[in-house]
Structure 1
């Protein structure tokens, strides 16, 4: 009986610790919307995590952006906001990754489903804003995220270097280029260099 009691205690302590790692709802919202342009932050929908680590809708929005809170189970910090027309593509990716599929498998499955008309991609260029960093963190006291950098992704399905005039690699640090050209997830990448750290 003592052994069973001790095991149960350890389980409950571990479970409590795991749940405690998930920030509260408002902190998740405040951190997630910082990936969005300032004028769109107040009206963005926000997906985040409940106490069990399940992805849920934390806030219904009033504009075209959906923001994704930082995953407490992953190292570093990463939040993103994207146009609502990308949600079928994003949701399908989350669904496939949850089953253990790797990046290559997810790419192939979505490519096939788009071509078959089972998965809808936006008809117009649509943007994903990413705010991330290996040492990034959100400070509830200041309401600010530090240790992060922006990255911008503009999806243009099946676009190519020829159709856009873009290079297939950055010509200068942070310059735009086209990634995965000619596929369903062809997109313009813009990754501004991280600000240089000031000396002591």
Structure 2
């Protein structure tokens, strides 16, 4: 009888440990994703909206950022340009105008140190071209309230996306608004 109690307690203990480990793991994933909101620096990026509707998911906007297409002259790491799927770090700097927007200054295969008001954002190469590369930052799709996607698309390039970029390069969209 004592052996059964010991086995039952041991199983319960392992079940509790495994459940707690799963909860901690999932909480860590969520925390890592949203940590850009807590620790990130605010950046404004110019974008063009495209394609506002999906039958299954509702209204969303695909955003094409100015920093999504980078000229090969901005490549600062040794060797060839990165290939499709490679991770890259893009250095953003404020534009010289007073509009508060950031633009790409350079991109690297490894995270460089930021200087002054520069910010580093992490992305993946979507595909290379003859003159440069296209990069995804995980900010390209933004869901909007129903029946508002067409209004954003009609802005025709006059949108500014406010994002938060964490010190390690992850980014999240905070807000999309018309450029003024």
What's the TM-score, normalizing by structure 1?
Answer: 0.25
Higher RCO (C-alpha 8 Å, min separation 6): 2
Flag the structure with higher helix content. 1
Max radius of gyration: which structure? Answer: 2
What's the TM-score, normalizing by structure 2?
Answer: 0.27
